[in-house]
Amino acid sequence: MTRLSDQVWLRASSTRAVMAALEATGGPGSARFVGGCVRNALMGQPVDDIDIATTLKPEETERAIRAAGLKAVPTGIAHGTVTAVADGAPFEITTLRRDVSTDGRKAVVAFTDDWAEDAARRDFRLNALYADADGEVFDPTGQGLADAAAGRIVFVGDAGTRIREDYLRILRFFRFFAWYGQGEPDAEGLAACQALASGMGRLSAERVSKELLKLLAAPDPRAAVQAMARTGVLTQILPEAEPGPAFDAGIEQTADAALRLSLLLPAEASLLSDVARRLRLSNGVRDRLTAAASARRDVDLDITDAALRRAIYRHGRQAVLDGLARRSAEAPGRRMDAERLSGLAQSWSPPRLPVGGKDLARLGVPPGPETGRLLKAFEDSWLADGFPTEGHAGRLQALINARRG
């Protein structure tokens, strides 16, 4: 018998309250922890989310949770999911299910009380592990425990069948390999992903980008990305990708998934903008990728401190830091230079432009296009001189006189 080691989340009062509420209605063994919390506990990884499977129907789950004085939220009741909230912590509770039909994106399900049926519809064997309230582990596929111990990512049953049920499982195969895999990827799973890669075209961009960013956030996703490239999966979702030495070096320098994504792509602002739009990335990520590409043109590892300050003023601190990170990845032997420049960028705050239209009006320049031209000329001169803190009126007057000839 395998039992989970002492886990804070397992003995937390909130966890015990939810499990007690379910078993008070369904009886002992009617609820078990499932998936990531069990897998991570076995593999010594942090547990962030607690999912529970139950033989109770969704309506029974909802009533049981409320009867215990806890909050119940019907977050996905059509698919059997109710979220319980205890001491502010959410617990996603889902009725055991079997697939009735699938179309590669979503499934029509029927509820069951058979734990083996529920396990059979899951993606990977190490995700089809269950544990009761006392931490005793159940392994319906008979191989999930061994996979978790060995770091193997293996589909439940036939790999092709699992993928055709939901083509996102191709990306999940590589994502779980990036996070938990050891050695080489499972050969059968890899071959199925390669053969069925075109099916990912059915997926929404949001699902693809979310999975891709999770993959890139792994401690070291290089082996997974290389396997994606070999099988054509990477080209299917990101045809512009150019995994190479800069990406490999960047993985060791940053854990930032957005920055790692940019290192997979050419540093061209328009191309990055197109990719972000196609993948439906958030506006914040899109703007960050394009700003970093623009900043990279103005920063290199030989840049003077004065020029770096001007770049920060022009592009913003984050864009310059990202641009320097890319330069560092492209020249990993100069990491110390990059770190010094990044330290300066972190510590220096750009001042605001010290003059405006009102200052020009006081000098006799009426509002209009000339005001904008003069302010731009002032800004260029002020930046070139290193952001002086005084003499602004004289500088403006000199520019006015020069334009009046």
The conformation of residue 385, written as its DSSP 8-state character, comes to T
Query: Could you tell me which residues come within 8 angstroms of residue 294 by beta carbon, excluding any fewer than 6 positions away?
Result: 269, 315, 319
> Do 254 and 344 reside in the same domain of the chain?
yes
Tokens 């994504």 belong to which residue? 261
Say if CB 123 and CB 186 are below 8 A apart. no
Helices (H), 99-220: 115-120, 144-150, 159-165, 168-180, 187-195, 205-216
Residue 377 in tokens: 């000329």
> Do 262 and 206 reside in the same domain of the chain?
no
The conformation of residue 128, written as its DSSP 8-state character, comes to S
Alpha-carbon distance of 132 to 137, in angstroms, equals 7
Can you tell me the mean pLDDT for 99-114?
Answer: 76
The band of 41, judged by pLDDT with boundaries at 50, 70 and 90, is very high
Rg over CA atoms, the chain: 28
The band of 101, judged by pLDDT with boundaries at 50, 70 and 90, is low
> Do 324 and 182 reside in the same domain of the chain?
no
> Do 198 and 268 reside in the same domain of the chain?
no
> Do 257 and 317 reside in the same domain of the chain?
yes
Say whether 184 sits in a helix, a strand or coil. coil
> Do 56 and 183 reside in the same domain of the chain?
no
The band of 99, judged by pLDDT with boundaries at 50, 70 and 90, is confident
> Do 191 and 273 reside in the same domain of the chain?
no
What pLDDT digit, counting tens, does each position of 327-342 carry? 999 999 999 999 999 9
What pLDDT digit, counting tens, does each position of 128-185 carry? 999 999 999 999 999 999 999 999 999 999 999 999 999 999 999 999 999 999 999 9
Alpha-carbon distance of 195 to 199, in angstroms, equals 9
> Do 19 and 119 reside in the same domain of the chain?
yes
Residue 127 in tokens: 């995700």
| Residue 85's CATH number | 3.30.460.10
Range of the domain at 163: 152-237
Distances 384 to 99, 303, 306, 318, 399 between C-alpha atoms, Å? 67, 14, 9, 22, 15
- pTM of the predicted structure, to 2 decimals: 0.88
Mark which of 150, 177, 207 sits at the end of a domain. Answer: 150
Residue 185, number of CB atoms within 10 A of its CB: 24
| Residue 221's CATH number | 1.10.3090.10
Tokens 């000839």 belong to which residue? 405
If residue 84 lies in a helix (H) or strand (E), which one and from where to where?
A: strand 81-86
> Do 3 and 142 reside in the same domain of the chain?
yes
> Do 138 and 54 reside in the same domain of the chain?
yes
What pLDDT digit, counting tens, does each position of 220-267 carry? 999 999 999 999 999 999 999 999 999 999 999 999 999 999 999 999
For residue 65, pLDDT over 80 is answered with yes
Mark which of 204, 237, 270 sits at the end of a domain. Answer: 237
For residue 106, pLDDT over 80 is answered with no
Say whether 193 sits in a helix, a strand or coil. helix
Report phi then psi at 30, rounded to 5.
-80, -5
Can you tell me the mean pLDDT for 359-374?
Answer: 91
Mean pLDDT of the chain: 94
For residue 12, pLDDT over 70 is answered with yes
> Do 179 and 247 reside in the same domain of the chain?
no
Mark which of 310, 330, 350 sits at the end of a domain. Answer: 350
Q: pLDDT at position 75, please? A: 86
Number of domains in the chain: 4
> Do 22 and 94 reside in the same domain of the chain?
yes
